[in-house]
Structure 1
């Protein structure tokens, strides 16, 4: 079926999945009711002003109040007040990492860009709201591009279009919007465009800036909508020329995906590129491939998921990313809630470093100065795991832990490690490893590769009323013949993240109802296995010192 511009549906999607029309937005004043501050241009001036900033005082009080909730994380970033949505504009500027996010201030709960800064990707310091709505109604998702003298943010302004703002100061506190109007406007009433105006990503090639806008095209089976990204070019950031759809050979998307929150950048040292994005159906995703810089096309060669089931509940949501300067990509995601909460809900994952292995497959491992959070350590010596007998580890207990476990599964088909376990097993979260239980990769002619699988099952994690369980979060992971299972598990009040052999990660939210749900156990199904070593650290609360 030939694609015709008239068939394009203009996409305006709330990150919660509710469809809204940008065109239907009320035309009253869009100026924010949140107090706005202008800061000095030197680091010393800014630091002095921040000491007495009323917003930061308010944030501090809000953190103390919300800290009373026992499901509030201790070492995963969560914003200081209100609810949180997509991370945005992650970047490294003048020796500091900056994380922006969709925040909802209490006096004006339209989306503003919240802001936090860190030197190590773990200890985050709250800063005042960075980008306020006006002329747009809400400041939605986007990315940043760092130049020698400035940081450029390009984002979707609801009711306006693609917006560009710049900052040059040390802590990125002072933002100026180009022309104070959209650089790629949404369509006028009745106007048909061959592209969607939605979440943008920005980069530079030669003397020109490039941007892709997220969206969909009706070129799937029976004219159904599939993911698309639309490429634009500009020499001055203000005037943008539409070129064409950007993605070619994409066989890794679901029908109905929409490519929101894109980020496009080189990865590794062999000329490959990665496109991170988000689906309002299936959460965080990625594509790998080649950038044809002559025709400005992204030729997809591989792809996969950061979220391995539906977006909601409890799933890994949208990415924000930035290069680490060593060939890797640093990515951070927000992760959805699993219970109704009007005061707060979504939080950030730990930052992940994404790299490629020798075969061009995506690898992922936790990054940042995680070790600085470790306090009391317990080490469990090597021991045999008898078949079908749960081994409770009485020396290990807590709900804010880092666990490093190395297990030789031998002939056991399933290894189970339980965390947040109550003494009577009324509540527990199951981490499962299925040896050779993942997909068989038959994508290469004459070659089949058998994967194992890792899964988190939170169906028994809570006895509380109103907590939603998730279909077990299950991902394939390759373990080579004779290679031990190497797990890094991060438990933090209401989130469990599991990294497997530096190649895969699964994460879910959990909400234990009992205060004694803090135990850990391990179990080998069907056959004997060996627990080679298990190290556990209690983790410091990084918010208690703010």
Structure 2
């Protein structure tokens, strides 16, 4: 996330906040807190950082501004199952070199850094320092790369005494290192955002870095600076082929309210140890909603899994939303998603699904009968649990589709969010223009669409609803939408709808997702 905009956003928080009492079904500050997504106990949360698995624990760090502070830290939480998170003390604090911006954490199994030992390998956090003093003095060299390490499983962190390990070479936007151990070369490999490109570096010890190459000129979306890269090899499902995947987040600085305000694109190609090459011509998005940004994956995850987590909010309106709705906390993480690679004819695409661990949250379930739907079908009447805390699985026939069909989440106050498919456009969409009880930001209300999708077989919808957010996985798990909302009372009504025809529901279920909060 572009941090200067974040600070501007925070400064615009309304002091005359709308007051919600929590009485008569209305939602108060804690009522908007996600029940099965990670959110900070208090303060501001944005980019996930330092995602790593070590010795039975998943570590989730994140950009964090504690209440009463004005500078970025690394917040920290741990989990054994990717579901239930324990808040930990702040991992990294700002110091004389600057604020602690985004980065990653790796396990130095072979103690290449010499900062630990063979029997006790260090966790190494690689992050960006942002020097506010230099910025105020007009110096563009505000950002440099540094490391810290832990010898007690991430409980405490020691900053390297020779930081920065990569000084700024004279680039204004120079941040967000993502490092992996490259088995091809037996060296550390770093992807680093540098203005409108990604620069690659390598190191034998994670302390001394050598520049390799860059990628990005004329590739993908360049509506704003590139940020928060991730770079990793991934096997293609059903084959012995391996490709390299590059994730890059981008901020749109235009004044239009389109879906590119904050988004993460991805590239699939090849890496020869020095250069990344990619011949795709389409710009591919990991999420088409308004609230999925700065997503990266866990290092060292078991079974070589690529588990992705992003910030589920936007710098465009996040500060204002906190001032009006959530008050003492802000932001959440997307539900962890597993990334895999598929090949359809000559095209490679990411397959994106909620992690399999989600079954650990399953509660009661309602099965849906086959139905030919015209108009609306209320399915929340069948539930014996909260409709706004559930997983929907719906299988529709692709034959004789209506002009539009989909799912609507709503309350009795005239507020709703509509998730649909438009046959004429051949696109999935999310309509969030009526999803709040208070019109707090002119660009929050939005209509978002996916890339074109031509359904040739049964169409499977998977939707996670969590109090004030929805995540939709459709289009053979290649199209995802993530959106937050702030209704005046809970969206406790779920309807399947059609316009201009009928749709055949072949099967379906709605499953309760239990709260992770204590």
Counterparts of residues 95-134 of structure 1 (less than 5 Å)? 95-134=56-95
- Report what 1:272 is aligned to: 243
* 2:159 maps to 1:177: yes
- Report what 2:382 is aligned to: 395
Q: CA deviation at 1:467?
A: 5.4
Q: Deviations over 1:343-395 (max 9, x none)?
A: 22321111111111133221111114212222222222111112xx1222222
Q: Which moved further from structure 2: 264-273 or 322-331? A: 322-331
> CA–CA distance in 2 between the matches of 1:522 and 1:213?
44
Q: CA deviation at 1:474?
A: 1.6
Q: Which moved further from structure 2: 76-85 or 460-469? A: 460-469
Task: Report SS of the residue matched to 2:246.
Answer: strand
Q: Deviations over 1:82-123 (max 9, x none)?
A: 111100111111121111101112243421111111122111
Q: CA deviation at 1:241?
A: 3.1
Could you say if the C-alpha distance between residues 203 and 539 of structure 1 is closer, same or farther in structure 2, counting changes exceeding 3 Å? Answer: closer
Task: Report SS of the residue matched to 2:515.
Answer: coil
Could you say if the C-alpha distance between residues 207 and 417 of structure 1 is closer, same or farther in structure 2, counting changes exceeding 3 Å? Answer: closer
Q: Which moved further from structure 2: 117-126 or 408-417? A: 408-417
Q: CA deviation at 1:261?
A: 0.9
Q: Deviations over 1:136-162 (max 9, x none)?
A: 321110122223222221110111620
Pick the aligned partner of 2:225 from 234, 258, 267.
Answer: 258
- Report what 1:201 is aligned to: 178
* 2:359 maps to 1:358: no
Question: Which runs of 5 or more structure 2 residues have no equivalent in the other structure?
Answer: 10-26, 110-120, 132-142, 253-259
Asked if the contact 1:17/1:280 (under 8 Å) is kept, the reply is: no
> CA–CA distance in 1 between the matches of 2:28 and 2:47?
22
Q: Deviations over 1:440-493 (max 9, x none)?
A: xxxxxxxxxxxxx21111112223242553422221364552x11211111111
Q: CA deviation at 1:17?
A: 5.7
Give the number of equivalent residue pairs: 445
* 2:482 maps to 1:507: yes
> CA–CA distance in 2 between the matches of 1:363 and 1:402?
19
Q: CA deviation at 1:327?
A: 5.2
Task: Report SS of the residue matched to 1:88.
Answer: strand
TM (norm. structure 1) is 0.75
- Report what 1:346 is aligned to: 331
TM (norm. structure 2) is 0.79
* 2:411 maps to 1:422: yes
Question: Which runs of 5 or more structure 1 residues have no equivalent in the other structure?
Answer: 1-11, 21-65, 188-192, 217-226, 439-452
Could you say if the C-alpha distance between residues 306 and 182 of structure 1 is closer, same or farther in structure 2, counting changes exceeding 3 Å? Answer: same
- Report what 1:381 is aligned to: 369
> CA–CA distance in 2 between the matches of 1:345 and 1:107?
14
Q: CA deviation at 1:196?
A: 5.2
Could you say if the C-alpha distance between residues 525 and 327 of structure 1 is closer, same or farther in structure 2, counting changes exceeding 3 Å? Answer: farther
* 2:291 maps to 1:315: yes
- Report what 1:521 is aligned to: 495
Could you say if the C-alpha distance between residues 115 and 162 of structure 1 is closer, same or farther in structure 2, counting changes exceeding 3 Å? Answer: same
Task: Report SS of the residue matched to 1:83.
Answer: strand
Asked if the contact 2:288/2:482 (under 8 Å) is kept, the reply is: no
Counterparts of residues 440-455 of structure 1 (less than 5 Å)? 453-455=427-429
> CA–CA distance in 1 between the matches of 2:234 and 2:343?
13
Where relative contact order (Cα < 8 A, 6+ residues apart) is larger, the structure is: 2
- Report what 1:297 is aligned to: 275
Q: CA deviation at 1:18?
A: 6.5
Could you say if the C-alpha distance between residues 17 and 306 of structure 1 is closer, same or farther in structure 2, counting changes exceeding 3 Å? Answer: farther
Q: CA deviation at 1:181?
A: 2.2
> CA–CA distance in 2 between the matches of 1:158 and 1:108?
16
Q: CA deviation at 1:248?
A: 5.8
> CA–CA distance in 2 between the matches of 1:131 and 1:406?
46
Task: Report SS of the residue matched to 2:450.
Answer: strand
- Report what 1:287 is aligned to: 267
Q: CA deviation at 1:504?
A: 1.8
> CA–CA distance in 2 between the matches of 1:519 and 1:378?
15
Q: Which runs of 4+ in 1 moved over 6 A?
A: none
> CA–CA distance in 2 between the matches of 1:385 and 1:409?
13
Q: CA deviation at 1:183?
A: 1.0
Could you say if the C-alpha distance between residues 250 and 151 of structure 1 is closer, same or farther in structure 2, counting changes exceeding 3 Å? Answer: farther
Pick the aligned partner of 2:41 from 62, 80, 86.
Answer: 80
Could you say if the C-alpha distance between residues 236 and 380 of structure 1 is closer, same or farther in structure 2, counting changes exceeding 3 Å? Answer: closer
Asked if the contact 2:435/2:445 (under 8 Å) is kept, the reply is: no
Q: CA deviation at 1:511?
A: 1.1
> CA–CA distance in 2 between the matches of 1:380 and 1:477?
28
Asked if the contact 1:399/1:518 (under 8 Å) is kept, the reply is: yes
Asked if the contact 2:244/2:269 (under 8 Å) is kept, the reply is: yes
- Report what 2:313 is aligned to: 336
